[in-house]
Amino acid sequence: MQRFILKSKNKITLMSGILISAGFLTNWIIGNETIFAWSLIIASALGVLPIAIQAYQALRVKVVSIDVLVTIAVLGAFIIKNYEEAAIVTFLFLFGAFLEQRTLNKTRSAIKELTEMAPESALKQIENGKFEEVDVGEVDVGDILLVKTGAKVPVDGTVLTGEGSINEASITGESLPVAKETGSNVYAGTILDNGTIQIVADRVGEDTTFGRIIELVEEAQDSKSEAERFIDKFSKYYTPAVLVLSLIVGLITQDVALAITILVLGCPGALVIGVPVSNVAGIGNGARHGILLKGSEVIGDFSKVDTMVFDKTGTLTVGNPSVAEKEYYGDNIDEALGYLASVERESDHPLAKAVLEEIGETTFSAVENTEVVKGGGIAAMVDGHRIAVGNVALMERENVVFSEKAKADVSRFEKSGNSLVLASVDGELKILMGIRDQIRPGVKEDLLKLKKLKVKNLVMLSGDNQGTVDAVSRELGLTEAHGNMLPEDKSAYIKKLIDQGQIVAFVGDGVNDSPSLALANIGIAMGSGTDVAIETSDVVLMNSDFSRLPHALGLTKATSRNMKQNIFIAVGVVLVLLASLLFSEWMNMSIGMLVHEASILVVILNGMRLLRYKLRNK
């Protein structure tokens, strides 16, 4: 019976509202006091049922909840035959709960949308080589699946055959399609916009990146921040205190109506709901923008960060060395580029790959008598010419003469943090290339946004040489930059900053930087949701998009502010109501309950503003 009544709470609210309206209309139109009184009595009796049941359930676990206060207040109103107050209070309380639930559901829409995006079926290859539609739960690691245009990718996998464009907004927050071909990774829950691909399942079910995102957002929304835990504790003592206060006032003044009104006005509903709705809305906004905030506690800590420490490679830089600067000397450069490409094609060095990408299409020649010079480079014969490719030391070994311009160029390239590749033909310098890991586009602007968000110190730690690190630091305007650091050096440095009282966020790629991610006050992982990133960090930028970082910090600051606003509104309304009751004559139970329910709606709507939060470009 209890379950049925609670399930029918919205219907009871509607019936109660109709009875109250009918009673007042009857009284105003035909002046029938009997119908008026019985309409209000029935409305009160109906309305108090679900409230009383919830009060009883709370008392069973030794909690004096808001429902207990309202139940006592309504029963008291009945005793003093104030049926009008009793009916209006129950209706407003139930209607407030309805609005509260409805608006809260909207704040949880992010997780609902994610769940609805989850794939339900897959085309799985069976023994005869044909594809059969099966439930996604029947797919195992190693199965081969077919994905057609417009279909959802059912699991995390690798493309075996075919190509197409995939909308990865559910994973990365980016709406632009991403081209996929043989060997590309694909993620569950993403949509194949065009093309047809066959994939092999690498992760299935809850182990997929998409499954983990849903799990993390659910855990985050259910977790409690320090402010929420304080309010839970506060409510545990505050509610009985209101009960005791009303009893004392009733005994002193002998005014039962006043005592009952104190019970109604003292309900801390807005206080209890204000902080959770801010957190849930903030986490929901993050999820929609490809930012996973792993829990309400993370929001509080992240909003206070004053120092951000960055790994260089793959975080501030692209993580893929390329030719940044080049100079050519003398004639026949196209021929020299062909010789250089022919030699570099024989090497698997990362710098060789960058050189070949820069040269592009060219004429390759046979390479003979290759000599690898340790710590210098390569010398070889190509089309009867002596070709040397390497660093300055190799050029000196080959007796290559440097012009004044070439010397100046080498010095300039080195100061810019480049690794040098020089090429000579028959002892004559022809090509100078400066190769470095390029800074991510837009990073400088994003770092300025972080400064505007009151991050005082921007620090870079890298395993790269100090010269390269200094060059990147100068270009980005960082506070500090330290090179030649191993993972243990980075974590030791972060510990030192924390010991100095700084609140530190570390931004890394989530693999070799996992000790630092775990040690920092806030660990922020770049890396498209890799296992280590998701497990170790507090915040995950799902598509390694650095521009999401200022949004994430701004969002946590806005959420923290929103929480404080809601606490102020909730406490302020209760104080004003109680003061009005004690020091004015216009306040009564019905008006107080209306204001009380309105305050709950206000804090919910205030929290919901976070769903539309965007970082403003000042």
**Rounded Cα distance, 83 and 494, in Å:** 65
Catalytic annotation on 311?
yes
- On average, the pLDDT of the chain sits at 81
Half-sphere exposure of 104 (CA within 13 A, CB side): 15
Q: Residue 183, class by beta-carbon neighbours within 10 Å (0-12 exposed, 13-18 middle, 19+ buried)?
A: exposed
Q: How confident is the model at residue 574 (pLDDT cuts 50, 70, 90)?
A: confident
Average pLDDT over residues 127-141: 88
Average pLDDT over residues 176-188: 82
Half-sphere exposure of 34 (CA within 13 A, CB side): 0
Q: How confident is the model at residue 43 (pLDDT cuts 50, 70, 90)?
A: confident
pLDDT in tens, 274-312: 777 788 788 888 878 888 887 777 888 899 999 999 988
> Tell me, what's the pLDDT at 137?
86
pLDDT in tens, 492-545: 898 899 999 999 999 887 545 667 877 888 988 876 544 555 566 788 887 778
Q: Residue 65, class by beta-carbon neighbours within 10 Å (0-12 exposed, 13-18 middle, 19+ buried)?
A: buried
**Rounded Cα distance, 531 and 46, in Å:** 53
**Rounded Cα distance, 423 and 339, in Å:** 9
Contact of 389 with 319, CB cutoff 8 Å = no
**Rounded Cα distance, 498 and 30, in Å:** 75
Q: Is 460 helix (H, G, I), strand (E, B) or coil?
A: strand
Q: Which two tokens stand for residue 525?
A: 């992982």
> Tell me, what's the pLDDT at 229?
64
**Side chain identity, residue 156:** D
> Tell me, what's the pLDDT at 329?
93
Q: Give the rounded percent of residues in the chain with a pLDDT score beyond 70.
A: 85
Q: Which two tokens stand for residue 429?
A: 């310098």
Which residue out of 311, 437, 446, 509 is catalytically annotated? 311
Contact of 83 with 77, CB cutoff 8 Å = yes
Domains of the chain listed by start with CATH number? 120-154+156-203 (2.70.150.10), 291-318+440-555 (3.40.50.1000), 319-438 (3.40.1110.10)
Q: Which two tokens stand for residue 177?
A: 């399609």
**Side chain identity, residue 91:** F
Q: Is the pLDDT of residue 474 over 90?
A: no
Q: Which two tokens stand for residue 123?
A: 């085309």
Q: Is the pLDDT of residue 458 over 90?
A: yes
Contact of 543 with 527, CB cutoff 8 Å = no
Task: State the maximum Cα–Cα separation within the chain, in Å, rounded to a whole number.
Answer: 117
Q: Which two tokens stand for residue 277?
A: 């709705």
More confident residue, 371 or 280: 371
Closest CA to 505 of 450, 560, 466, 543: 450
pLDDT in tens, 97-133: 676 566 556 545 545 555 666 788 899 998 888 899 9
Contact of 513 with 523, CB cutoff 8 Å = no
Q: Residue 526, class by beta-carbon neighbours within 10 Å (0-12 exposed, 13-18 middle, 19+ buried)?
A: buried
> Tell me, what's the pLDDT at 225?
53
Burial 560-575 (b: 16+ CB within 10 A, else e): bebbebbbebbeebbe
Q: Is the pLDDT of residue 597 over 50?
A: yes
Question: Given the structure tokens 């219907």, which residue do they identify?
Answer: 11
Question: How many C-beta atoms surround the C-beta of residue 579 within 10 A?
Answer: 12
Q: How confident is the model at residue 269 (pLDDT cuts 50, 70, 90)?
A: low
Q: How confident is the model at residue 480 (pLDDT cuts 50, 70, 90)?
A: very high
pLDDT in tens, 250-261: 888 887 777 777
